[in-house]
Structure 1
Amino acid sequence: MGQGRKGSSDKKEGKKKRDDGPAPKDGDKCRVCRFPLLVALLQLLLGVAVTAVAFLMLAISPSLTARETPHWAGIILCLVSLLGFILYCITYKADEKTSLQFIVKLLYFILCTTGLVISVLVVAFAGHHHAQTSSFQCEQAGEDCVCKLDPDDAIARTFTYEGVSDCEVVTGTLTLYFLVQILLNLAQALVCAVGAFIMWKHRYQVFFAGLQIGSPSIKQWQKV
């Protein structure tokens, strides 16, 4: 009798230990790696870098257009990152129990998608201008620099860069800045795509994997 009771108590304790299991240690997790803090930090750094390079390009010549100096893309990404920081501070309530949390999540997803489209657009503009300035043949005209794609063509379109004392700046430095903008905005597009995908997956991609646990009589399904 004593051994039977002891065996049953051991089984109960073993079952209790299996049910309880080890508690997750949230305190050991890297807080910087938690979504969306890391994504927001990368967006902020890339947005500041894109804006800084754009203003450096604008310092070369004030006649550069907004397509050639995409500071607006960097500023938009900085705003998206600030929204990500706000989202990081209010995501501790599960299942979107507050309307503020739902609104911020929706806005962050929309702005990440918008940032992705804008970054791809900037890459297209910068790639076009990089190929263009790489083929320029420039001549100094007073304080301006006049460039053509084909100097032998009398009706070829001319590009005048005001306030440029040395045409080497256009064919060398400006071309390099366009290449930097391509790389920065490619990274920016990738970060925005990751942010939008994680947000979508967290909100909608919850499904049953079809894995049955336990006996056939009691159907329990694993949720992933």
Structure 2
Amino acid sequence: MGQGRKGSSDKKESRKRRDDSPSLEDSNKCRVCRFPLLVALFQLLLGVAVTAVAFLMLAISPSLLARETPHWAGIILFLVSILGFILYCVTYQPDERTSMQFIVKLLYFIMCTTGLVLSVLVVAFAGHHHSQTSSFICEKVGDDCVCSLDQNDPIARTFTYEGVSDCEAITGTLSFYFLLQILLNLFQALVCAVGAFIMWKHRYQVFFSGLQIGSPSPQQWQKV
């Protein structure tokens, strides 16, 4: 009689464990969507794009300033994406019991915030320079291109771009690159904001992902 009760109890516990554990199909579902893998992928692509466009801008004229060719913003975002991949590979432990997990999470949050600030700065600089280059009146002087906003004003500030074969590259191509930098860095700022927000919410609020299976107990949720 006692063995029958014990066997029945074992069957109930076994059934409960099966109900509590997520199925293999659910555990593998949308693995790419798991944080921060998808965010890190977007950061990697945007960082490479921003850096590539910046070097294309620098190829127009070597006299362009660092704020006009924001390759530094793309490099920072590339580093953030690498940190995101490391965070994805770190084994999750409840309540951040490992120092590695805590350090990587903190660095990722700080780097995402830094990337957000830098992207906003690039948008401001690129917006100003795009408005400026769109209004330039340029003329070729030797191997350089001398531009000004008003040629009739004798004290108007002039901008000299060295090594430019055609002034159309300044008023046309360079202006287009500034517009492209505005769009790319807007997306970059948005992705960094999403990454920083999710990290903050995961650290200071209840943040779960996945499907609840079986019992409505909070222990059935799969935490990020």
In the superposition, the TM-score normalised over structure 1's length comes to 0.83
The alpha-carbon deviation at position 23 of structure 1 amounts to 3.2
Q: How far apart are 1:97 and its partner, in Å?
A: 1.6
Instruction: State the number of aligned residues.
Output: 200
* Alignment gaps of 5+ in structure 1: 1-8, 208-220
Mapping of 1:44-193 within 5 angstroms? 44-193=44-193
Q: Supply the distance in 2 between the matched residues of 1:96 and 1:29 (Cα, whole angstroms).
A: 25
Partner of 1:24: 22
Residues 179 and 87 of structure 1, relative CA distance in 2, 3 Å threshold: same
Give the deviation of 1:222 after TM superposition: 6.7
Paired residue secondary structure (2:147): strand
Q: Name the CA distance, whole Å, in 1 between partners of 2:171 and 2:91.
A: 49
Which residue in the other structure is 2:4 paired with? none
Matches of 1:92 and 1:100, distance apart in 2: 10
Amino acid of the residue matched to residue 54 of structure 2?
A
Amino acid at match of 1:183: L
Report percent identity of matched pairs: 79
Q: Which runs of 4+ in 1 moved over 3 A?
A: 16-23, 221-224
> Which residue in the other structure is 1:212 paired with?
none
Q: In the aligned structure 2, how far is the partner of 1:93 from the partner of 1:19?
A: 21
* Alignment partners' CA distance in 2, 1:29 and 1:93: 21
How far 1:20 moved relative to its partner? 7.0
Larger Rg computed on CA atoms? 1
Unaligned runs of at least 5 residues, structure 2: 1-7, 208-216
In structure 2, give the amino acid aligned to 1:83.
Answer: L
User: What TM-score results when the alignment is normalised by the length of structure 2?
Assistant: 0.83
Q: CA deviation at 1:94?
A: 2.6
Does 1 or 2 have the higher relative contact order (CA < 8 Å, sep 6+)?
2
**Which residue identity is paired with 2:60?**
I
